[in-house]
Amino acid sequence: MNKHDIQSSVQTKSSFSLRTPFAFFLQVRFFGKRSAAFSKGFTLVETLIAIAILVTAVLAPLAIAQSGIQAARYAQQQVTATFLAQSSLELVRYNIAYNLNTSNPNWLAGLDVCQTACEIISWQSKLDVGDELFRTCSGADPCRVYEIQGIYQVADNAASPITPYTRSLKVEETSDEREVKVTTNVSWKLSNGSTRTYTLSQYIYRWR
């Protein structure tokens, strides 16, 4: 047998070995199906990644929008609390000015109830009605602020619209007999249940 015959014999055996039923079965049974399973698994991973990206793309703007709405609402509440605090200080100033202009020997008349927490009961001119403007905070919901005809104030009528705000005033005499420290606290609850408080203090002098 020459060299050419040996090579032909080897090639024939190799070709035969690759084409035997057993080898064909192994190739189809394992390699073919493994490739298909791998393709299916890869497609599933791609689908999950696409869904995750889509959900993120949808939820991210919604979260940003919700955060913006909450920030805007808190800013509005902060402005309202500032207004409530400043307006209460102005009413104390008015009460003191009224006493001084009417030559009342007690320049703090009407403010004795504010040595502890007090609330506003009237926005009417004291010169017209002659009523007290303040009273001690009391009741089941002390110092609660109501909205009546667009004005924030205390209401004895239970049917009056309630607001989330409470406002209290405190007038303290200092070592100087011609000076008082006025402090107002405005508190309100946020949508998440937490409480915020805005505090404003000012010294008022007996200028006359």
So what's the pLDDT on residue 131? Answer: 65
Rama region for 83: left / alpha / beta (φ>0; ψ in -120 to 50; rest): alpha
Q: Which residues pair with 144 in a beta bridge?
A: 166
Taking 50 as the pLDDT cut, the residues of the chain under it are 2-4, 6-18, 26
So what's the pLDDT on residue 40? Answer: 55
So what's the pLDDT on residue 6? Answer: 45
So what's the pLDDT on residue 41? Answer: 56
So what's the pLDDT on residue 124? Answer: 65
Hey, is 145 helix, strand or coil? strand
Query: What gap in Å lies between CA 186 and CA 142, rounded to an integer?
Result: 12
So what's the pLDDT on residue 12? Answer: 45
The full set of domain ranges for the chain reads 79-205
Hey, what amino acid is at 143?
A: C
So what's the pLDDT on residue 193? Answer: 85
Query: What gap in Å lies between CA 91 and CA 115, rounded to an integer?
Result: 16
So what's the pLDDT on residue 18? Answer: 46
Sign of CA dihedral 53, 58, 62, 65: positive
Query: What gap in Å lies between CA 21 and CA 30, rounded to an integer?
Result: 14
